[in-house]
Amino acid sequence: MSDNDLLFMRRAIELSLENVKKGGGPFGAVIVRKGEILAESCNLVTVLNDPTAHAEINAIRCAARKLKTFDLSGCVIYSSCEPCPMCLGAIYWARINKVVFANTTSDAQKIGFADYLIYKEISLPTQERNIEFRQLLREEALKAFKAWEESENKIEY
Amino acid sequence: MSDNDLLFMRRAIELSLENVKKGGGPFGAVIVRKGEILAESCNLVTVLNDPTAHAEINAIRCAARKLKTFDLSGCVIYSSCEPCPMCLGAIYWARINKVVFANTTSDAQKIGFADYLIYKEISLPTQERNIEFRQLLREEALKAFKAWEESENKIEY
C-alpha cells in the first residue's frame, strides 16, 4: 500500500463527509492519473435529480471530458465505497486499471442502500429478477449490428 | 406482447440504425411512461467522449430531468440490446419496472462489445477480476456512513 493510495483515499472520504453535510449521499470518488488528481466528485443523485449521478460516474465523466477521450487506461479510481454494479460497469467501459475502495457494499446495505441487492439481481437469469424482462424483435435489431460490422466510419470503443 | 411493446421497440431499433449511419454505436433506447415516449437516445460514447453515454443511461438521465425526480417508477425502458451491467444497474437505481430488449449481450459480443465479459467480471470476487482491487481505510470511511444515518436533512434514494 503506497502513501499515495492513502492520500487519495483520504480525499475521497473527505468528499463523502462534506457531501453528507450538504444533504447528499455519503459517497466520494477521485480519479488519479500519473500521480495527480484528474477528477473528483461526490454523489449528486438528489441534487441533480439524476439516478446515475453516483460519485464514480460523475468523476469518470469529468475525467473523460478533461482528457477528451472515452478511454481512461492508466487511471486509478479511489472510491469511499466499493462501486455498485452501475459504477463498476462504467469502470470497465472506461478501462480504468485499478479500484481502491474503503466501505463495502454490505456496509452500504446496512445504512439502506441497494448496492448489494443490485449485485444479487444482476447475477440472476432475466426471468428470475424483480424487474420484468421481455425480449422481442431480435431479427429486426440485428440489422443495426450488421450495419455496424459493415460500417467503414465507425469508431470502436 | 402488446402492440405498444412492438411500437416502442421499433423506435428503439430505428434509433440504433440511425446512429450507425452517423458513425455511432448500434444501440438505441426509449423510456415510456403512461403509454407515451418520455425520453429516447442512442449511444453517444464516441461523440461525447463519455464512456458512460450508453443509450439507456442517456435516456434515463433525460427522463429524470424531464420529470424532475430520480425516481422513474412506473416507466418501461425499451432497448435495442439487452442492457449491460452499467445500464442495468442504472435501471435498478431509477426504479424502472420493466425492460424490453431485442439483441442479446451474446449478439453484442459477436460484434466486439464487452457486455458479456463485464457481466462475467462483475460476478467474480474482487480478487479474481481483471481489474486490481484494494480495500483500505474502512474505519475512516464509515464515519461518513454514520454521519448519513444521523443526518436529519438527508433525502433517501
The per-residue pLDDT for range A13-32, each reduced to its tens digit, is: 999 999 999 999 999 999 99
Q: What integer pLDDT is reported at residue B2 of this predicted model?
A: 59
Among residues B58, B65, B62, B63, the alpha carbon closest in space to that of B16 is found at B58
Neighboring chain A residues of B59 at a CB cutoff of 8 Å:
none
Answer for the pair B94, A86: CB distance below 8 angstroms, yes or no.
Answer: no
Contact criterion met (CB < 8 Å) for B93 and A87: no
Cβ neighbours around B36 below 10 Å, total: 8
- The ipTM estimated for the assembled molecules is 0.96
The band of B130, judged by pLDDT with boundaries at 50, 70 and 90, is very high
- Is 60 exceeded by the pLDDT of residue A1? no
DSSP state of A126: G
- Distance in angstroms (rounded) separating the CA atoms of residues B61 and B42: 12
Q: Which of B57, B80, B148 is the closest to A144 by Cβ?
A: B80
DSSP state of B122: H
Mean pLDDT on A113-130: 94
The band of A57, judged by pLDDT with boundaries at 50, 70 and 90, is very high
Q: Is A34 on the interface with B (CB under 8 A)?
A: no
Cβ neighbours around B56 below 10 Å, total: 32
Among residues A90, A33, A91, the alpha carbon closest in space to that of A66 is found at A33
Give me A121's grid cell.
439481481
Give the distance from residue A74's alpha carbon to the nearest chain B alpha carbon, in angstroms: 11
Q: Which tens digits make up the pLDDT trace of B97-121?
A: 999 999 999 999 999 999 999 999 9
Among residues B124, B116, B71, B61, the alpha carbon closest in space to that of B93 is found at B71
Within a 13 Å sphere around the CA of A102, how many CA atoms are in the beta-carbon half? Answer: 28
- Give me chain A's average pLDDT, please: 96
> Helix, strand, coil shares of chain A as percentages rounded to 5?
50, 20, 35
Q: Is A149 on the interface with B (CB under 8 A)?
A: yes
pTM recorded for the entire structure: 0.96
Contact criterion met (CB < 8 Å) for B144 and A20: yes
- Distance in angstroms (rounded) separating the CA atoms of residues A97 and A32: 11
Q: Is A118 on the interface with B (CB under 8 A)?
A: yes
Q: Provide the 3-class DSSP secondary structure of residue B151.
A: coil
Give me A62's grid cell.
469529468
- Is 90 exceeded by the pLDDT of residue B1? no
Mean pLDDT on A61-81: 98
Q: Is B87 on the interface with A (CB under 8 A)?
A: yes
